[in-house]
A and B are shown apart, each in its own frame.
Chain A
C-alpha cells in the first residue's frame, strides 16, 4: 500500500511570511495527525482529525497555525505569519481507527516537511 505522502519536503522562508504543507494519508485511514518535531526533540502533536472533524487541537498555536481536512482525506497545515521558532519538521501521520481504541491501531508517518525560517 502507498504510504503517507507529504509535500513539500523542504521549505525555506523569511519570518512573517506564510507557508502551507500538504498531506495525503493512507487510503481508508480515518484519523490524521500533524506533529511538529523541533531539532533534538521528540515529535509533538499539533492537531488530530477524525475524518474531517477535529479531535484535539489543544497544542496548536491558533494565532498563527491553521489546519483543515475538508473532505476527510487530504489535509493542509498553514503557518501565517511564521516565526523563527517555527523552524522544525512537520510530520503527518494517519491511522485506521474509527473510534474503536485498540492496540492494533498504529500510526503510519510520512517523511515530513522540513521548514527553515530565516
Chain B
C-alpha cells in the first residue's frame, strides 16, 4: 500500500530564510513522488515530481526535493522564502509502479512566511 506522512502540519519561516517541508513515504513499489501546492481558493498546482530518474528534483519557483530511498524521505526545500510561497503543500505518492494515476495525498503542511 502507498502512503505519505507529512511530519509538520504547520511551518513558519521569515522571508528570505530557508524552507524545509518534511515528507516520508511508504510504497510497495519504486514510487513516483510529487509535491503539490494549494493557494487559497485556487486549484492544486504541481511543484515537482520524482519518477526514478535523478534523485534531486528541481521544480518551479525555486523549490527542489531530494529522494532518499534509505530514509524513505522526499523533503521539499527552498533556499529563500518569499511572501508568495505562503500556501498549503501536499506530498503525494502515486498508486502505480510508475506514473501519476491515483495519487495518495498527505495531510498537508501549511507554510506561513513572516515579513
Residue numbers of A with Cβ under 8 A of B are: 3-4, 31, 33, 40-45, 48, 55-56, 91, 93, 95, 97, 101-112
The answer on a CB contact under 8 Å between B43 and A91 is yes
A-B complex: 5 closest residue pairs judged by Cβ atoms: A103-B51, A42-B105, A101-B99, A109-B44, A109-B43
Give 1 or 0 for each of B90-115: 1 = CB within 8 Å of chain A CB.
Answer: 10000011111111111110000000
Knowing A42-B90, A43-B105, the reply to whether A3 touches B100 (Cβ < 8 A) is: no
In chain B, positions 19-37 with a C-beta closer than 8 Å to chain A are 32, 34, 36
Return A103 CB to nearest CB of chain B, in Å.
3
**B46 interfacial by beta-carbon distance below 8 Å:** yes
The answer on a CB contact under 8 Å between B102 and A56 is yes
Knowing A103-B51, A103-B52, A111-B41, the reply to whether A48 touches B105 (Cβ < 8 A) is: no
**B101 contacts across to A, CB distance below 8 A:** 31, 48, 55, 95, 97, 101, 105
Count of B interface residues, CB-CB < 8 Å:
28
**B100 contacts across to A, CB distance below 8 A:** 95, 97, 103, 105-107
Chain B, interface SS category: loop
Chain A, interface SS category: loop
Distance, CA A109 to CA B88, complexed state (A): 15
**B52 contacts across to A, CB distance below 8 A:** 103
A sample of 18 inter-chain contacts (CB < 8 A) reads A33-B102, A40-B107, A41-B107, A42-B107, A42-B108, A43-B44, A48-B102, A55-B101, A93-B44, A101-B98, A101-B101, A102-B98, A102-B99, A103-B51, A103-B98, A105-B100, A106-B49, A111-B43
